Amino acid sequence: TSQKIKVDFDQSTGVAVMHMQSPPVNSLSLEFLTDVCIALEKLEMDKSCRGLVVTSSQPKVFSAGLDILDMYGKSPEHCAEFWKAVQEMWLKFYGSNMITIAAVNGSSPAGGCLLSMTCDYRIMADNPRYSIGLNETKLGIVAPFWFKDTMVNTVGHRATEMALQLGLLYSPAEALKIGLVDQLVHEDQVLTTATETMTKWLAIPDHARQLTKSMMRKPTIDKLAANREADVNNFVKFITKDSIQKSLGCIWRCLREERL
Ligand code: CO8
């Protein structure tokens, strides 16, 4: 596997832990998304692997979301390839047969929030410096329908409507209140709590749980699966617009200038 993903598989419990270690902030680049998908596919095919915990090895950040540089100043062809990889990640995680738990041990904006929402359960570090949410509108971009669907399925229609229009980033306490995360624990306890929670989920017979998960998620998954090409075309058309490229340029400069 790639160096940006470390997978620890415990044969005795059937649980794997996927550590994202793509410095500095686990941004979801084309390359990283591809690595993540390959790692997930391997685990999915291994019948002895029943559960997966996803976490970050980077301090303070779970994932910074989609890599700006895969969308800014790139050719339409590159943008299309990138978007296919984003779709692929979502389809694989949201449709996983495994029990998936996100150990959100840092900030998780935009695509990072999406990744955590594809999991069956979210545990977040109780540190008020961290935030989570789909903040796209604040960046002048629009979360696609399947980002929206995933959030509706997680926190309901009204909370999503507010969250998406305002591009809200929630503190851990606020995220817990609206159900965007399921549990808050001290920073040091995120991974151990994920393992403990996994034990509870493992007690449920796989076949019954998997059919139930599929029943809940299949309509949402089918909607994108049946429209992938149109969704790619939409994305490319949108992201290559001058005005959107300008916004992305602002975001990029802001991120950099913060350091000066
Ligand atoms: N992509 C690429 N590089 C990034 C990103 C990113 N998303 N985020 C941060 N970086 C880089 C920074 O430029 C910086 O680089 P360098 O060290 O070389 O200067 C480095 O990572 C560290 O960043 P910070 O100094 O900001 O680190 P902090 O620990 O202070 O903060 C955060 C970490 C909170 C994650 C912060 O970096 C942040 O808020 N990042 C931006 C997050 C964001 O807004 N992402 C949105 C991406 S868009 C998306 O995911 C969905 C888009 C849907 C598309 C819809 C179109 C149709």
Whether ligand 1 lies within 6 angstroms of the CB of 163 is answered as: no
| CB neighbours of residue 234 within 10 Å | 14
Whether ligand 1 lies within 6 angstroms of the CB of 258 is answered as: yes
Q: Which two tokens stand for residue 101?
A: 């738990």
ipTM over the 0.90 cut-off: yes
In terms of C-beta distances under 8 Å and separation of at least 24 residues, what long-range contacts does 113-118 make, across chains too? 113/65, 113/180, 114/65, 114/90, 114/147, 114/150, 115/28, 115/54, 115/62, 115/63, 115/89, 116/54, 116/62, 116/181, 117/150, 117/151, 117/154, 117/180, 118/90, 118/93, 118/94, 118/150
Find, among 7, 18, 16, 48, the residue nearest to 198 by Cα.
16
Which residue lies with its CA nearest to atom 40 of ligand 1?
64
List the strands of the sheet with 5-10, edge to edge.
5-10, 15-20, 51-56, 99-104, 121-125, 183-185
pLDDT at 258: 77
Angle at 21 between CA 19 and CA 27, to 5 degrees: 110
pLDDT at 260: 56
Annotation says 52 is catalytic: no
Give residue-wise pLDDT tens across range 18-62: 999 999 999 999 999 999 999 999 999 999 999 999 999 999 999
Give residue-wise pLDDT tens across range 189-216: 999 999 999 999 999 999 999 999 999 9
Strand partners, 28: 66
Annotation says 136 is catalytic: yes
Whether ligand 1 lies within 6 angstroms of the CB of 59 is answered as: no
Query: Is the dihedral angle over the CA atoms 167, 173, 178, 179 positive or is it negative?
Result: positive
Whether ligand 1 lies within 6 angstroms of the CB of 139 is answered as: yes
**Structural domains of the chain, with CATH:** 5-202 (3.90.226.10)
Angle at 69 between CA 68 and CA 75, to 5 degrees: 115
First to last CA, the chain: 35
Contact 20, 58 (CB under 8 A): yes
Which residue of the set 51, 65, 106, 111 is catalytic? 111
Whether ligand 1 lies within 6 angstroms of the CB of 79 is answered as: no
189 alpha carbon – ligand 1 mean position (Å): 25
State the average pLDDT for the chain: 97
Which residue of the set 14, 65, 134, 135 is catalytic? 135
Closest ligand 1 atom, residue 68 Cα = 1
pLDDT at 2: 79
Give the chain's residues under pLDDT 70.
1, 259-260
Annotation says 111 is catalytic: yes
pLDDT at 82: 98
224 alpha carbon – ligand 1 mean position (Å): 26
